[in-house]
Amino acid sequence: MEKNILTSKVTGDSCIHVKHPSGLNIYICEMKGFSTVEALFGTKYGSINTMFKTSEDNEYTTVPEGIAHFLEHKLFENEDCGVFELYAKTGASGNAFTSFDKTCYLFGCSKNYTDNLRILLDFVQKPYFTKENVDKEMGIIGQEIQMTNDNPEWRVFFNMLKCMYHAHPVRIDIAGTKESIAQIDAPLLYKCYNTFYDLNNMVLSIAGNISADEVLAVCDEMLKPCEDKELETVFPDEPDTVVQPEIREKQHIGTTIFHIGYKCKPCSGKERLIKSLKATFAAAILTDASTDMYIRLLESEIINSTFGAEVFCGGGYFSVIFSGESDEPEKVREALLNEVERISHEGVDEKIFQRLKRSTYGLLIRELNNVDAVANLMINSHMDDIAPYDAIDIFPTLTAEDINDFIKNELRSDRVVLSIIEKDGGSP
């Protein structure tokens, strides 16, 4: 079992990568002088993975929306006791999450990290699904779905995605719908578990006050060898166009909120990393508080300090999202469209670009001194098919012209959507 040292060409930071005989990819970052440990055990299985096949299947299997999230909930129960009880005895804080393209189980602790690692590796490899515990979970997740449906921030986001994407499952709530989860049963959960929780499709990331040899000794003890099933996942064909340019909904809220989304061309691997860095730069420039557009909108009270942007991308989807509070979101959209058009012709302000480049680079460097951030960096990089330090090594090479090209070619006026949740006049 060979230890590969992965090192940043720019900063000199390094971590260890091991391909374990069980099939699991393991990333370890020994951070001497730190007092805490963060570990994540994840699988490339999220809400968008609703259609798949393995070498054992003749045809693709299509499963109900929300099943990845449902499975995550059920893994925390086993025949003996709940996982949180085990973590409580060792002083760890455990959690899990399901996103669009991954499911991760994690713990943080300041002591007993080898015991906590054993708990983590044990319960994720021991599914226990019965008709009774699946039926019980159905009601719990149904309530969770209702809560998110009543959440205006959640609604404005998914309404935007439904305006943007015709067929890609990213448009569907991570938890699914009450109708879709009603189709889930124990045999189907085992089918998905045995497909996606194959160690060849998984990764362990651990950082902090640890010893690589101790981590690997626990892995040797706990991991069950798996045969690579040659998993394939597919997505429906997705056109470049948007479904509709605008959607509105009323809720009992104090202030109208909005999401303005630009649908961009999807990509993968290092190409997606480079594109996401460019998009992050573009979004930062367009929302920078020193620009004429921002100052004008702020002084006119069309936006407030909540105005910001993010890049949202993954397997088969890529978008840049601007959001905030405004009683006149249409004017925000108009201002953005005009600013994108102006920059496309005049180019990015070099002073703003250099200032943002320095500040963003400083943030990337500081994250390398944060245990949680390093553990997440390693697992997210593997899930995205890139190396942990690719972003920090590529970032200094970006130029203002790169950002100009992204804004001009990707932020197209015919691929922008506006999602609004309006205050309905009632009490929030």
Active-site residue among 56, 59, 65, 72? 72
Supply angle C-alpha 387, 102, 24, rounded to 5. 60
- Residue ranges of E strands in 192-283: 202-208, 232-233, 246-251, 257-263
Cβ neighbour number for residue 149 with a 10 Å cutoff: 14
Spatial neighbors of 187 by CB under 8 A, at least 6 apart, are none
Residue 72: active-site member: yes
Tokens standing for 194? 């045995």
The Cα–Cα gap between 401 and 417 comes to 26
DSSP state of 82: B
Cβ neighbour number for residue 378 with a 10 Å cutoff: 28
What own/partner pairs with CB < 8 Å and gap ≥ 24 does 110-113 have?
Answer: 110/35, 110/36, 110/37, 113/37, 113/39, 113/206, 113/208, 113/209, 113/210
Q: Which of 124, 168, 173, 171 is nearest to 144 (CA)?
A: 173
297 burial via Cβ count (<10 Å: 0-12, 13-18, 19+): buried
DSSP state of 77: B
Positive or negative, the Cα torsion across 232, 236, 239, 245?
Answer: negative
Instruction: Answer whether 303's CB lies under 8 Å from 386's CB.
Output: no
Catalytic residues: 72
